[in-house]
Amino acid sequence: MSQPAQQTIPKEKFLVIATNLLHRQFITGGRAQAKRLYREIREGKLVALTTVQMEDDSMVRFRLSLDHSEFAGHLNFGAFRGGLGVLLGNLAAALREKRDITVFSVEQRPESVLFGITGVTVEGDRTSVMVLGADTQGQAGVVTLRLMYLNPAQFARQGEDATADTAAT
């Protein structure tokens, strides 16, 4: 049985689709539906979002997952939605301004990428950093959007290194 040819979506188009899907699901959609979806991904489930017909008439199924292992504190819907709102706003601004968005990939898994735009939120003394990734591993025509929290300490160290470098010159 032959496999469908692997299609590549330009990064900017992909991010527009992903941003719109997430915005519709969690920001402009009904609160009850958004909370139900949030609970499922918070529990570690891989959730089907929608199927999108592309310009070439091919169909792409989008799924969603959440990795909150690096979230500082207790994650609730309000904190998740706030972080997602900041991330989506930053992605939309970068796309609107036509900024070059860095894409990171895992050496052992080139089908998994992480987009270099963050959603940083601060509650009290706790900083949280949310990012969007995507994974095309597995079935052709299926994309998993991966929302994840990164350890904010790695960004603080980078800032300290930059400050130290500037002070040393």
pLDDT digits (tens, 9 = 90+) for 3-52: 344 557 788 999 999 999 999 999 998 899 999 999 999 999 999 999 98
Flag whether 97 is in a domain.
yes
| pLDDT above 70 (res 91) | yes
In a domain, 6, yes or no: no
CB 103 within 8 A of CB 112: no
Q: Taking Cα atoms as reference points, which of 78, 83, 60, 82 lies closest to residue 148? A: 83
H helix and E strand count, the chain: 4, 6
Count up the domains in the chain and report the number: 1
What pLDDT is stored for residue 158 in this prediction?
Answer: 53
Is there a domain that residue 3 lies in?
Answer: no
End-to-end CA distance of the chain: 62
Q: Which of 20-34, 100-114, 131-145, 150-164 has the lowest mean pLDDT?
A: 150-164
83-110 mean pLDDT: 92
Strand duo 59-67 + 142-150: pairing: parallel
The model's confidence at residue 157, banded by pLDDT at 50, 70 and 90, is low
Structural domain boundaries enclosing 144? 11-168
Is 90 exceeded by the pLDDT of residue 155? no
In this prediction, what percent of the chain has a pLDDT beyond 70?
A: 87
Examine residue 1 and state whether it is found in any structural domain, yes or no.
no
Q: Is residue 43 part of a domain?
A: yes
Strand partners, 48: 63
Q: Rounded mean pLDDT of 133-146?
A: 88
Predicted local confidence at residue 169, as pLDDT: 40
Residue 3 confidence (pLDDT): 38
Q: Within a domain: residue 4?
A: no
Would you state the pLDDT for residue 111? 82
Predicted model pTM = 0.85
Give the lowest-confidence range in 6-10, 25-29, 76-80, 164-168.
Answer: 164-168
Would you say residue 148 lies in a domain? yes
Residue 163: is its pLDDT beyond 90?
no
Residue 116 to residue 104: CA distance in whole angstroms? 7
User: Distance between CA 111 and CA 122 in Å, rounded?
Assistant: 32
Q: What is the mean pLDDT of the chain?
A: 86
